[in-house]
Structure 1
């Protein structure tokens, strides 16, 4: 059984995640990490840029022109940007699990609001909304205006004393099921105002649904290549699935047992037996909830004891600065759009220079635009930017 050291794991991040050497295109950048986090609209662009150096127009073209990357509600009720050829696998496994959970919760809340048959009511609302979307795509607000039932107010999920229109929850159920997709964006690239579109209209045809077992197998196969070696707990967390589903998928993939540096049992892709080594230094600036930052449950080998500086109480990470496979700080924008790197500890001169160069490149890519995030690292909460540079002087 091969032991994979922490040094090798950090080299794997640089190579497999297209951070040490840029991917040739947007689609390759997405595949490098299996899929991109898309909770914040800007993160898709920033994650793709970090791995391919693509301009915003090329990233938008992949999303809305070529439509080779699709946004889909999936693992852990999170929106991801998937390569289109992985959509059917996610739709039948992780997304289907989320759809069942959301449907059941919505039906329960409907009955608490006095509706007699919650499941039937949800099914009717979903059918009406899907028919309306197939007739004409629309934003949530536009669909509520066309379908009065979507303005029915029931208890907001998790907030029983707050009443809210049911439209967004009905559309989320449809989106998790994959019958509708987040099509064009009615907002700017930094914001998310999806125009809900039937899947067959957005992609030209319905790509189908892999059954659950096959779907999990494909997700695990790709995750192992991008993130392996990983533990069973890493996969259970990343997929938001059960241990039974993960163990079955690992068996179906033919995953190879391995050991982490501390002796913890882990798994490798069956075609990934050779040692991976990387010559040379690398630096990267990654956005909020980037897949590299959020790819494992056990993060000590790249995070160390820096978690409290970068993650909130719910386990969400803000922007991160990386040096040779370790998170060493965060980054933010000043009022004029200039990117500033904020290190946690003093860094070597080579790291300072490399991260400041990355900050200059990202500043130019922003071209004066600023991006707000809902996940501000504790390290910079309340901080007044002083133009300190990567060393935090």
Structure 2
């Protein structure tokens, strides 16, 4: 009979999270690139959340917004693109080839086939016509550098053409070629989101040509991505890995074998860590507090969350689609939520007060002041609003 698997309990997992996700004081990052690298990916659906997730992890958050914008739009060290689960993320640019080969190719094939099918059902022009429009759009982007969909439509008027979608069904509607084609080009890794129109909180983006990257073997890319994620977020269950990547279970298991991942025992059942990571891990020297934004990659990192988030808190902190709102953390656990009041104040409420005393409340108050300094006069409303956030911001 073989040796029993090492058990990694909730407390140790919370310690790993604090250090590896750069949330404990001494573990904080020195730059947006360092923060993104530690997390593998930042959720990019809500533009403001990217900057706030970075700011929460920097040793010195002053100038976090400007530094993140510089990394995204000037230095090109971070890039916003489609990734796992059809979702927009911000990745270190060096990871774009891995993400594209491991997750983008499969999604892209489905998205293009669906677009061609929908257009054919509506009697719209065929795939050859679509290929001509695509080539014209990419040429226009190469000339312009960055452009909005409206600007591209001035260069390529066929982008304005419309076609009916799902005729006769409850969700029927009309799509423009531009909205569907640019999404397909995004998941195919040909275009990425560029600088937004307006401020850093704007969700109206320009488009830009994707940075060049080598074409990798999909299986090798999957092993590479899973290894990076386990190093940042392990231990994790197979179910966590399947959920985060959006892969089939066979792909997850193949990647686990390719990376030489080690099995451990978790409260939820069997789990996995990268090779050599099954032993005791460094924990923070002292308790820590954090105010993390909606869709933060730590709060959304695992499918099974009971080890850091009490199930009783979920109705207040998540929307109906499973998107997490702004959260208050104390020493590795989610204990409440926060919001920005109309006058700009950061207001918060604790929903789980077990073991939360004066030290915790003082630390949370300090983090609220830190966040207020980052925001300044900017007002931020999460894209996906949750019950507690709505209540606190009213």
SS in 1 for 2:113: helix
The residue aligned with 1:12 is 16
State which of 120, 131, 143 in structure 2 corresponds to 1:123: 131
Count of paired positions: 378
- 1:8-34 Cα deviation digits (max 9, x unpaired): 011111001000021121111001111
Aligned-residue CA RMSD (Å) = 1.8
User: Residue 186 of structure 1: CA displacement?
Assistant: 2.7
Unaligned stretches of 5+ in structure 2?
A: none
Q: Is the 8 A contact 2:339 2:392 kept in 1?
A: no
Within 2, Cα distance between the matches of 1:319 and 1:156? 35
User: Residue 281 of structure 1: CA displacement?
Assistant: 0.4
State which of 102, 108, 112 in structure 2 corresponds to 1:103: 112
The residue aligned with 2:375 is 366
Within 2, Cα distance between the matches of 1:179 and 1:19? 34
User: Residue 121 of structure 1: CA displacement?
Assistant: 4.3
- 1:45-100 Cα deviation digits (max 9, x unpaired): 00111111442111111111211111111111111111111111001121222212
The residue aligned with 2:310 is 304
Q: Is the 8 A contact 1:221 1:253 kept in 2?
A: yes
State which of 34, 37, 42 in structure 1 corresponds to 2:40: 34
1:164 aligned to 2:175?
yes
The residue aligned with 1:178 is 189
The residue aligned with 2:277 is 272
1:23 aligned to 2:35?
no
The residue aligned with 1:132 is 140
- 1:314-333 Cα deviation digits (max 9, x unpaired): 11111111111111111101
- 1:344-376 Cα deviation digits (max 9, x unpaired): 134422211111110011111111211111222
Please, what TM-score do these two structures have when normalized by structure 1? 0.92
Q: Is the 8 A contact 1:330 1:379 kept in 2?
A: yes
Within 1, Cα distance between the matches of 2:393 and 2:259? 50
The residue aligned with 1:61 is 70
Q: Is the 8 A contact 1:153 1:163 kept in 2?
A: yes
Within 1, Cα distance between the matches of 2:51 and 2:165? 31
Query: What is the correspondence of 1:146-225 to structure 2 with a 5 Å cutoff?
Result: 146-155=155-164, 160-199=171-210, 203=211, 206-225=212-231
Within 2, Cα distance between the matches of 1:19 and 1:361? 14
Within 2, Cα distance between the matches of 1:174 and 1:140? 13
- 1:173-203 Cα deviation digits (max 9, x unpaired): 111111222223333100133222222xxx4
Relative to 1, partners in 2 of residues 1:93 and 1:125: Cα closer, same or farther, differing over 3 Å? farther
Please, what TM-score do these two structures have when normalized by structure 2? 0.91
Unaligned stretches of 5+ in structure 1?
A: 386-393
The residue aligned with 2:331 is 324
Relative to 1, partners in 2 of residues 1:380 and 1:133: Cα closer, same or farther, differing over 3 Å? closer
Within 2, Cα distance between the matches of 1:384 and 1:48? 22
> After alignment, is 219-228 or 269-278 more displaced?
269-278
